[in-house]
Amino acid sequence: MKQSIAALFDLDGVIIDTEPQYDIFWRNIGEVYHLGIVDFERVIKGTTLPAIMSTYFSHLPPEEQARIEQANHDYESQLEIIPIAGAPEFLAELKQHHVKLGLVTSSSDKKLQSVFEKMFLKPYFDTIVSADRITHGKPNPMCYLLAAKDLDVPPERCFVFEDSFHGIQSGKDAGMKVVGLATTNSKASIANDVIAAIPDFTHFHLKDLLGLGDFG
């Protein structure tokens, strides 16, 4: 590789298999507060907590909003952290070959701290862009553009790994090559919006990633 490339990873549904746990929490919240939104837990995937609160719960008194936020933080601290199959090995392979790595997530720093205490992840990444570093969350491309700037890699030389529709759109709008993880949504539902759709990282390696690039 004459020039650097970067691999930018979402967290939930890409590196760790937490989405089914989040589904339980947000489905319950949607029912408790009578939002009347079908599949609310799926609608908000890839969205930051501040965006969820401002979009769907701004009508509630501040103290009630605070209760939802605290319940979310408490729930996150108890999440079972299970890696997506092959993800740790793939990160290690990329790191070994000096590929620049970024973690780009809608999670807060507080949630990330809890995850890092349970799983060896942080040392892999050369930059981390969390919800606390941005003003516009996915599907806005701000988070991915910030990661590319941190790593000093042009967007067109960045690969994005995403599972949610919002995340995929964010990576595409940043001008990056998006690989879709069919962990949250079906392969058929994301295939047209990504350069490749994979079930996990079990059979995906650096050579496969490089094969998806067209760098001239």
Is 12 noted as a catalytic residue in this protein?
yes
Q: What is the DSSP letter of 84?
A: P
Sort strands 158-162 and 6-9 into parallel, antiparallel or unpaired.
Answer: parallel
Is 152 noted as a catalytic residue in this protein?
no
Angle separating helix axes 49-56 and 62-77, nearest 10 degrees? 150
Identify the residue whose tokens are 């050579």. 207
Q: Which of 10, 150, 200, 208 is catalytic?
A: 10
156 and 171 in contact (C-beta within 8 Å)? no
Task: Tell me the C-alpha distance between 211 and 177, whole Å.
Answer: 12
Catalytic residue numbers? 10, 12
